[in-house]
Amino acid sequence: MKQKELLAQIDQQRISDAISEAEKSCSGEIRVHIESSLRGKNLREFAERTFERLGLTKTAQRNGVLLFIAAQEQQFVILGDEGINNSVTPDFWDQIAVHLTEKFKAALYTEGIVEAIQSAGTHLCAIFPPHASDVDELPNEISFGTGEHEK
């Protein structure tokens, strides 16, 4: 599916609202990134580069989560920063990605993304409760990529 077509199908406002809502109950940061195509590159490596590029390794408590979507390939990966990863089983993020794959197959794009945000958020908030001085460290809007590494 082309990125353009996917964009026409999803409700961006609902997605960033879901991020804002999830971040209200915790200090962690959630970002959604939609890449047009992997162009033959490895999904996880591409996501890891994007993770860094979007500043997810720069949060104070290292508690950022990235939901990476490759539109063309309809592949997904969820990455958590080091503050979170020692508290999740290795397949925790993969389970969310599997669920998202099913939603995409059923053409429930926005719903799938919102549910993935909620699942990640529930876990994030359990280990990183909100604190008084919490700030929104990273934007809640979807980020978009053109299929090229920007470096």
Are β-strands 64-70 and 75-80 bridged in parallel, bridged antiparallel, or unpaired?
antiparallel
- In whole angstroms, how close is the CB of 136 to Ca ion at the nearest point? 4
Q: Closest by alpha carbon to 121, among 3, 41, 27?
A: 27
Decide if residue 138 touches Ca ion (CB under 5 A). Answer: yes
- In whole angstroms, how close is the CB of 92 to Ca ion at the nearest point? 21
Report the distance separating Cα 101 and Cα 21, nearest Å.
23
For the residues of 108-136, what is the DSSP string, one character each?
-HHHHHHHHHHHHHHHHHHHS---TT---
- In whole angstroms, how close is the CB of 52 to Ca ion at the nearest point? 17
Binding mask 9-28 for Ca ion (x = CB under 5 A): ------------------x-
The DSSP element (H or E) to which 101 belongs, if any, is helix 92-105
Strand partners, 78: 67
Binding mask 56-85 for Ca ion (x = CB under 5 A): ------------------------------
Decide if residue 113 touches Ca ion (CB under 5 A). Answer: no
Decide if residue 117 touches Ca ion (CB under 5 A). Answer: no
Q: Which of 136, 146, 148, 149 binds Ca ion (CB under 5 A)?
A: 136
Decide if residue 29 touches Ca ion (CB under 5 A). Answer: yes
Report the distance separating Cα 95 and Cα 24, nearest Å.
24
- In whole angstroms, how close is the CB of 25 to Ca ion at the nearest point? 11
Q: Which residue, 31 or 103, is less far from Ca ion as judged by CB?
A: 31
* Nearby residues of 151 by Cβ (< 8 Å), 6 or more positions away: 49, 53
The footprint of Ca ion (CB under 5 A) covers 27, 29, 134, 136, 138, 140
